[in-house]
Amino acid sequence: MSGTSNSGGGGNLVYTVVAAGAVPLVEYSPFRGTFSEIARRILTNWALTDVTKPKSYAYQGYVFHCVGDENGIIFMTLADESIGHTRPFIFLDDISKRFLGTYSTALKNPVTAQNPKNYEAFARVLKEQMEFFSANAQAGNQIEAVRAEVENVKQIMVTNIDKVLERGDRIELLVEQTEDLSSNSHQFKLKSERLKKAMCRRNLKWTIILAGGCAVVLIVVILAILFGTGILPPNN
């Protein structure tokens, strides 16, 4: 599948995932799209190489930026290419320090190291930091600890992701705002409420009809019993 199909995410950090090798541990995106599938294919390929060397993969107007540590923990973010390279890598540096500082014990335990449930709470951190770095073009200047590392970004090799995807099996990168989902959800909710009210009115109508019918039958039965037992003498 060729061509570009994007309807959101311009100038933003679109998607972030933290993985142990090729195994995603926690991920977050305010958008929906095919980027998660593509990210997993990159992880599978990149996990077999030296992940301590930062790398970027360009694809259809977006760039997957990746960094990793000596233990094979990989941090990847997808950004619009217009955002450049410096901000995404400073973001990844910030995220890596937060993640490793929080989960160093869990990562050392072979039983819990690759269990995504242990890292679910970190999705909130990804959300907050992605919003911050997307909104602040000068965010890199606010993190003094990585200033010396920014120069390394200039030497990062940008690879065309087509070389990573096997046998030319291309995946169209779709990035759609969740506002569309919210709108559709709202419309569906309104339709559901209208249908529910209509069904309630219909059920009430039949309930009244059935109740009235039962009342008539009950009255007839009672009268028949009263006349049959002589309690109510028939009119002459």
Give the whole-angstrom CA distance, residue 194 versus residue 138: 48
Closest CA to 73 of 45, 34, 43, 94: 43
Per-residue pLDDT of 27-68, as tens digits, reads 999 998 888 999 999 998 888 888 888 888 888 889 999 999
Query: Are 94 and 146 in contact, with CB atoms under 8 Å apart?
Result: yes
Q: Where are the alpha helices (DSSP H) in the chain?
A: 35-46, 86-108, 122-135, 147-153, 178-228
Q: Is the pLDDT of residue 173 over 60?
A: no
Query: Are 68 and 51 in contact, with CB atoms under 8 Å apart?
Result: yes
Residue 7 DSSP symbol: -
- Which band of pLDDT confidence, cut at 50, 70 and 90, is reported for residue 122? very high
Per-residue pLDDT of 130-151, as tens digits, reads 999 888 766 555 554 454 455 4
Per-residue pLDDT of 64-119, as tens digits, reads 999 999 989 999 999 998 888 888 999 999 999 999 999 988 888 888 888 999 99
